Amino acid sequence: MHPLKVEQPYPYEQWWVAAYSAEIGRTIAARTILGMPLILYRTEAGEAVALSGICPHRSFPLDQGCLVGDSVRCGYHGFTFAASGECVEVPSQSGVPTHSALRRYPVAERGDLIWIWTGSEETADPALLPDIESMGPGNPGWTVEQHPPATIAARYTLLIDNLLDLSHASFIHSDTIPAGEKVAALPVELIETEKSLNVRRLGCNLPPNPFFRLMFPDHDGPIDQSFDAEYFGPHLIRTGGALHASATGERLGTQNYIHLITPETPTTLRYFVVTARDFGADNAALGRLHLDMGTRIQPQDQAAIESIEKVLQTLAPHPREVSARVDTGALKVRKRLTDQIVAEQRARREPAAA
């Protein structure tokens, strides 16, 4: 599926963010992830639970049911399912039908985020979760803001492309990102590791501006700022980076923008943004500014990639795509993602062949 070289639109053997921790409580919340309807809730002990969201009896949405203790009761005919997914009661008979259990998805809670594993239950490995704490969320030494989640009518790969080429800040965000007009001209450095790929730009001797003064009120002088775009997987991209005093090289702090991407369907996605900084913990105005900027920046990105999605859906064949040198990082990420999906497909075939 464009722009990937495979028809399978996304990997399944993967952790994805289902919700902010604070979104899930003692009511049933509906989600669609990788085309699968799910429900999420917390047990009376506070444990997050993720189950398939459709009753197997007559396909009634279970988010229209209710909780009975730690179990979910279907609002149509009363089929009741334990937090394990097992059907435990059918009011119209004494036993339960065979094959009536709901799928239970492995859940992990890290960085005030609820992650679910959409692959085979036996392959769910918490070690595959990203080190979100090192970026700020869940780390007591950082100040974190969670921005309202958004649903975007576009394939998730378009958002990945958007985030890996920050030169768009000079155009799409020319009126919303301080010094954004300079980003497109900055040289790009690719930093590749086994776990991530970082498209890094470095802005040197950036003059003081109101945003920098708010961030670092005790610093009066130019700043060197990293404009990172670091891909950790289809679920997470970190932008932002470290800021240093140009004159001395002293590190002033690190500001991260954490982009959490969860495909809903092949052409829609759920988008979470978390900002995190290791300075200015008592600067409430800075936190308010980040949230305000988010309300202006995010709709600009959303409008851009939704416009591209409309082109891809209405034009056949797709227009021939041309790339620039600055797209090298995004093209490498497309290959990484394609390879991840192909490896997953191969792993599914090999046991059957054996």
Residue 177 in this model has a pLDDT that exceeds 90: no
Regarding beta strands 236-245 and 251-265, do their DSSP bridges make them parallel or antiparallel, or are they unpaired? antiparallel
Beta strands across the sheet bearing 80-81: 66-68, 71-73, 80-81, 87-89
Cβ pair 158, 311 in contact under 8 A: no
3-state secondary structure of 329: helix
Q: What pLDDT is stored for residue 175 in this prediction?
A: 73
- Indicate the domain borders of the chain: 15-127, 140-342
- b (16+ CB within 10 A) / e for 75-99: beeebbbbbebebbbbeeeeebeee
Q: What pLDDT, in 10s, does the model give residues 272-314?
A: 999 999 999 999 999 999 999 889 999 999 999 999 999 999 9
Given this structure, which CATH class describes domain 140-342? alpha beta
Query: pTM of the entire structure?
Result: 0.95
Q: What pLDDT, in 10s, does the model give residues 109-118?
A: 999 999 999 9
Place of tokens 């918490």: 126
Cβ pair 188, 211 in contact under 8 A: no
Provide mean pLDDT across the span 214-234: 96
Cβ pair 261, 190 in contact under 8 A: no
Question: Measured between alpha carbons, how far is 212 from 354 in angstroms, rounded to an integer?
Answer: 60
Tokens at 265, concatenated: 């369907």
Q: What pLDDT is stored for residue 178 in this prediction?
A: 59
DSSP 165: -
Using alpha carbons, list the distances in angstroms from residue 103 to 31, 38, 72, 353: 14, 9, 13, 26
Q: What pLDDT is stored for residue 354 in this prediction?
A: 46
Using alpha carbons, list the distances in angstroms from residue 239 to 96, 150, 189, 262: 50, 18, 14, 17
Q: What pLDDT is stored for residue 151 in this prediction?
A: 98
Taking alpha carbons only, the member of 78, 73, 13 closest to residue 39 is: 73
Where do the H-state alpha helices sit in the chain? 156-164, 210-215, 284-314, 328-353
Instruction: Look at the domain 15-127 and name its fold.
Output: Rieske Iron-sulfur Protein (2.102.10)
Residue 24 in this model has a pLDDT that exceeds 60: yes
Q: What pLDDT is stored for residue 352 in this prediction?
A: 54
